[in-house]
Structure 1
Amino acid sequence: MIMETLAEKFQSELTKGRQLFENKDYNRAFHHFERAHILGQPSYIRHVRSHYWMLRVGLKIIDFREVVGQIIRILGSAGSLFGKYPVGNTGGANVSPFKPMPIPDDLKPYLE
């Protein structure tokens, strides 16, 4: 079995999330944006893209806490430029932006 690259897996999760977002399945979309976030943290652009989509979910579901949290996290994504980010963090406003979290087993090979 040939494994996708980190960039391909990130894009796959983002695409799944976007499809669900377009179908107004915001909770499931957010889950894939969280997975994209975990994979995207090492790259500033990918990191910001995952937060952008989480922000869009927050706007659609009218969740003020999520919207504000994502704006703050978009600014904080600059840490990726310096290799400073909490590994495994899912990126939602429901968790501390500084808290490292366990990486899901199926995503670990992409980040090793």
Structure 2
Amino acid sequence: MASKDSTQRRAARVRRQVKAVAGDRLRLSVHRSSKNIYAQIIDDQKGHTVAAASTLEKDVKGSLKTGADAAAAAAVGKLIAERAVKAGVKEVVFDRGAYIYHGRVKALAEAAREGGLSF
């Protein structure tokens, strides 16, 4: 298992690359824990969150068996896309953090694309 330092370095490296190619697009950041998954759309120029969604929200939590599977990630992806489109955001850059684009992270990204986000 990777140490905390190497994980933070990897996340910082990915974030630095994402910000370099972002231009004026907002960033879709993903955080996954062992029990839940979280997504935020962040405006780095203004330094605030435009939209957020997670498996801890009551309406999402009630419809899921667990917050730690691909189905939960897909539900969060769909919800974040819905909220982003409502806020007027269509194009984002995907910030996977220190996580591999696989499993829950991939399910969230694909659901966000189906929900109307472009990245």
TM-score range, shorter chain: under 0.3
RCO higher in structure (CA 8 A, sep ≥6): 2
Q: Which has the larger share of helix?
A: 1
Q: Which structure: larger Rg?
A: 2
What is the TM-score with the length of structure 2 in the denominator? Answer: 0.27
